[in-house]
Structure 1
Amino acid sequence: MRRFEAKRTAADGWLAPRLHATLRMSRAEAADARLWNFLALLVAPDYVIWRHRGKKLAQAARFSGAHHTQAFARLWWAAELFRDGEDYRPVETACRVQDVLNTTMRLDVVDHRPTALAIVRITHRLLEENVPRPGDQVNALSAAINSAGSTLVYEALAPDPGPDTDSVHEWIAGAESAPAVPLDRLPDGPADGAVADSAIRNLVPLFEQMLADAPKRSRRPRGDENAVDQL
């Protein structure tokens, strides 16, 4: 909280990979809302209020809510869905645009790793080019991708064998002896295999065309919660 007092949204990209690397667990374990409720209500309610305070106190869903809304669950799942094997750098990019967490992460298609990373790659381009209101672009892209097909369609275009589950289990098993995550450099995630760059490149031109054709809904600025984290 001291580190990011000047820009609370920037805390997401810093905390998400470190939370994921600290709480080593399976997706099935992470789906248990009781863990996240415990963290938010008993361990760190001060963080939830600090990060999600607005005109009023943080909404109840930030303490006990869906995986894409609850203060800690959303960060763990962002790291899980947008990491590239042990590389958390795509997670930092994803968290720089709040709409990736608020909208894109709700879609079933992001379970397909090449799709998730293709979205991050386009998000990175939008940020590098300083495109105004990148959140509106991300929302339009996410809606277009979700409407255009299911994960089966994208799997045909960009095959992905999926993560190495044995490596994930080994990573989880090593949690008790693992050192604390570093504060000033990214930790390493489970070495369960990176996504083939060719699979991502197969999807990026298609998604770029979807973005170009998609209608954009321009929103009025709503303050910190929809801000872009310019690291």
Structure 2
Amino acid sequence: MITKPNHVPEHLALLATSALDPFLTEELLRGEEVHGGIDLAKVVEELLEDDARWSVEPIRSLVEDAMYEFREDRTGADAWLAPRLHATLRLTRREAADKRLWNHIGLAVAPDYVAWRHLSEPTAKSPGRRIAAERFRGPADRQCFSRLWWAAELFRNGPDYEPVVAACGNQDLIHTVLRMDLIDHRPTAQALVRLLQNGLVAKGREVAGLSAAINAAGATLIYDVLAPDEPKDPARLRDWIAEARSAPPVGRRSLPDGPDEDPVPEKSVVALTDYFAELFETTPIRGRKIAD
């Protein structure tokens, strides 16, 4: 397994995909050898703001702790790391939409974590172990770190990250649901977590079937009417971001707190949970018989 680069930058930067691609060598994608870091540092775009959020050390510390703590359960690291990454790297959604930032984290800051988490296991058809390139510079729902940050952003309930832990504990859910436009509706996200927690939806086929049904129903049913949400106060997010300079490191044993935003109205979560449960009962799932 590869180790971290000899040169790890002190601050985050922006790394264009065109500049990144030459460093995605076969040796790296096979998890055998990582770049040294010096040459990569020459092609990044520095973030000009003097902002505590751009410090690399807290991110390096998190991923190293995750690799140690979950050395016997790599997928289990997702549910632990997602809320802590989100609370450490306090971004606006506009900042988080810039793929160049995630490119830099994936390749310059923590390529060893990407390899540790996403190096495939050998199979009869593919005996060679390999890391998919999209884990370094892929879309938001596939790149190693952006998928965790966005999962935390979309599934947190105001400042509460507990729903994020539940969501990220189910790989089928985050793989499927992060592609859905409707997941940006907070009651929808919380209702999906409730269905996980009550055991109604658990397996990949069930998650995929329900997700397809929710998308299809959303074409004719406006979820905002059935389950209205309270408008967010952008000042609370700005305050939370501004506190990054003085915020202590996130706890390893207890969950951090997210932005001090109002939680999703409980009445709306209950309404959608009940509606999705009824929808699920009539959703065709391969291998499941629907009662008459």
Asked if TM exceeds 0.5, the reply is yes
Aligned to 2:80: 14
Aligned to 1:211: 280
- The answer to whether the 8 Å contact 1:68/1:74 transfers is yes
The alignment status of 1:67 with 2:140, answered yes or no, reads yes
Aligned to 2:170: 97
Deviations 1:109-138 (A, max 9, x none): 010000010011001112xx7x7x622211
- Structure 1 runs of 4+ aligned residues shifted over 6 Å read none
Higher relative contact order (CA 8 A, sep 6+): 1
How many residue pairs align between the two structures? 214
Deviations 1:132-170 (A, max 9, x none): x62221111111101111497000101112322110010
- The answer to whether the 8 Å contact 1:109/1:150 transfers is no
TM-score (norm 1): 0.89
Residue ranges of structure 2 left out of the alignment (5+ in a row): 1-66, 123-128, 288-292
Aligned to 2:203: 134
Q: 1:169 aligns with which of 212, 232, 238?
A: 238
Select the structure that is richer in helix.
1
CA distance 1:216–1:47, shift in 2 (3 Å): same
Residue ranges of structure 1 left out of the alignment (5+ in a row): 219-231
Identity of aligned residues (%): 51
Larger radius of gyration: 2
Aligned to 1:23: 89
Q: 1:154 aligns with which of 223, 228, 242?
A: 223
Q: In the alignment, residue 271 of structure 2 is paired with which amino acid?
A: N
Q: RMSD between aligned alpha carbons?
A: 1.5
Moved more, 206-215 or 71-80: 206-215
CA distance 1:82–1:141, shift in 2 (3 Å): same
TM-score (norm 2): 0.71
- The answer to whether the 8 Å contact 1:85/1:163 transfers is no
